[in-house]
Amino acid sequence: MSDKPTKPVRRASPATRDAKPAKRAAPRRVAADHILPEYDFSHARPNKYAVRYAAGSNVVVLDPDVAAAFPTAAAVNDALRALAGLIREHGGRPPRSRRRPA
């Protein structure tokens, strides 16, 4: 015999042993243009950004710490315009060094 302790054997009760396996319900096929009845859109609201999105503007979600620095959307736009002006004025990114670090 080995020194390892053996696991106790679990035996099924007569009720479990004689039970038939449960049948799975066949997935329902629904046409592509139909909505399943379990989806309830009765309390849905229109997307408040849809008009701006359709107009071609970009919606950007700021991290909470960044958003806390700006009281309004206009303040964010002013700061980004100033940054964009600096980038244009100084030529964008500095050239990358061709030397590889040791």
Hey, which bits of 11-91 come out as E strands? none
**pLDDT for 77-101, tens place per residue?**
999 999 999 998 888 776 677 666 6
What is the chain's percent helix, strand, coil content, to nearest 5? 30, 0, 70
Q: Please state whether the predicted TM-score (pTM) of the whole model is above 0.95.
A: no
Convert the pLDDT of each residue in 29-55 to its tens digit: 767 677 777 888 888 888 887 887 777
Alpha-carbon torsion, ordered 89, 56, 69, 80, to 10 deg = 0
**71, two tokens:** 């009281």
Q: How far apart are CA 76 and CA 88, in angstroms?
A: 18
Assigned token pair, 99: 């030397």
